[in-house]
Structures are given as structure tokens and as C-alpha cells.
Amino acid sequence: MSQHTHGHSTTDEVSQGHGSLKSYLLGFIFSIVLTIIPLVIVMNDMLNKTQTVVTLMLMAVMQLLVQLFFFMHIREGEKPRWNVMTLIVGLLIVFTVVGGSIWIMSFNSTVQ
């Protein structure tokens, strides 16, 4: 991290720390559980197709949140919160890319 060239780079970045052992363990357990649930559902054919897809998506979103909060420390860092702002713009673009493509490409079903 010492690649920054400024003489006045702050040294207290280190002392701020990134979470505790407890929060890392908690995050680890959450992410494992969120991985096992979909695996079990799919392996044992427990739900019908729609229910499976919905559950999987739900688990994926929760997994994303766990990663963001426990490992990527989205709550920490100095203000202004550039990382949060970038994340929001990123989400906007991702929704545009996916939603826009579905909308534009849906002409296939009407043409045939």
C-alpha cells in the first residue's frame, strides 16, 4: 500500500484496522450458510423451478451484502464516501445493462 507517492500520506490508515476476528468469523459463517442453502435445495429438488430461482437470487443478493459489509468494509473509510457512491453508480449501470438488453432484445419474441 506504500505505493502512494505523497510525503504526507496518512499513517493512521493502518491503526484504523479493518474489523475484528469476531466480525470476520461471523461473515465467514454467513457466507458459508448462504452457499449451502442453495446447494441443498438444488441437490435434493426441494422446490419447483420458480421457487428455486427466486431463492437462489435472494441468496445471491444476501451473499453480496455479506461480502460488502464483512469483507469489503463498505461502512468504513473516511468521508466523503467515494466507495459507496461508486457502488451506487455501478448498480445503476448494471441494472441498465441487464434491463436494457432484455427490453431491447425482446423484439425477438414479437417478430417470429
Partner 1 sequence: MWENIKDFASTFFVTGDPLIYGADVSIGLTSIAILFVLTYFKKWKWLWREWITTVDHKKIGIMYLIASLLMLFRGGVDALLMRTQLALPNMKFLQADHYNAVFTTHGTIMILFMAMPLMFALFNLVVPLQLGARDVAFPFLNSMSFWLFLMGAMLFNLSFVIGGSPDAGWLSYPPLSELAYSPGVGENFYIWGIQISGIGSLATGINFLVTILKMRAPGMKMMKMPLFSWSVLSSSVMIIFAFPILTVTLALLFLDRFVGAHFFTMDLGGNPMMYVNLIWMWGHPEVYIVVIPAFGIFSEVVSTFSKKSIFGYKSMVFSMMLISVVSFFTWAHHFFTMGSSANVNVFFAISTMVIGIPTGVKIFNWLFTMFRGRITIKQPMLWTLGFIPCFVVGGATGVMLAVAPADYQYHNSYFLIAHFHQVLIGGVVFGYFAGMYYWWPKVFGFKLDEKLGKWSFWLWNIGFYVCFMPQYALGFMGMTRRLYTYGSDTGWDLGWAPLNMISTVGAFVMGLAFIVQVWQISYSIRKGERDLTGDPWNGRTLEWSIPSPAPFYNFAVVPEVEGTDAWWKTKEDLKNGIKPAPVKLEPIHMPKNSAIPFIMSVCWFIAGFGFVFGWMWMAIPGLVGVAISLLARSFTYDTDYYVQVDEIERTEAALRGRTV
Taking only Cα atoms into account, the Rg of the chain, rounded to an integer number of angstroms, comes to 20
> Could you tell me which stretch among 6-14, 18-26, 36-44, 59-67 binds partner 1 (CB under 8 A)?
6-14
Q: Which is nearer to partner 1, 2 or 20 (CB)?
A: 2
Cα–Cα dist 57/54, whole Å = 5
Q: What is the dihedral sign for C-alpha 94, 98, 103, 105?
A: positive
11 binds partner 1 (CB under 8 A): no
Q: Give the nearer residue to partner 1 in terms of CB position, either 50 or 103.
A: 103
Does position 77 interact with partner 1 (CB under 8 A)? The reply is no
Per-residue DSSP letter, 61 = H
Instruction: Say whether residue 5 binds partner 1 (CB under 8 A).
Output: yes
Nearer to partner 1, 67 or 83 (CB): 83
**Residue that is written with C-alpha cell 474489523 in the block:** 19
Spatial contact of 60 and 54, defined as CB atoms under 8 Å apart: no
Q: Which residues bind partner 1 (CB under 8 A)?
A: 2-9, 82, 86, 89-90, 92-93, 96-97, 100-101, 103-108, 110-111
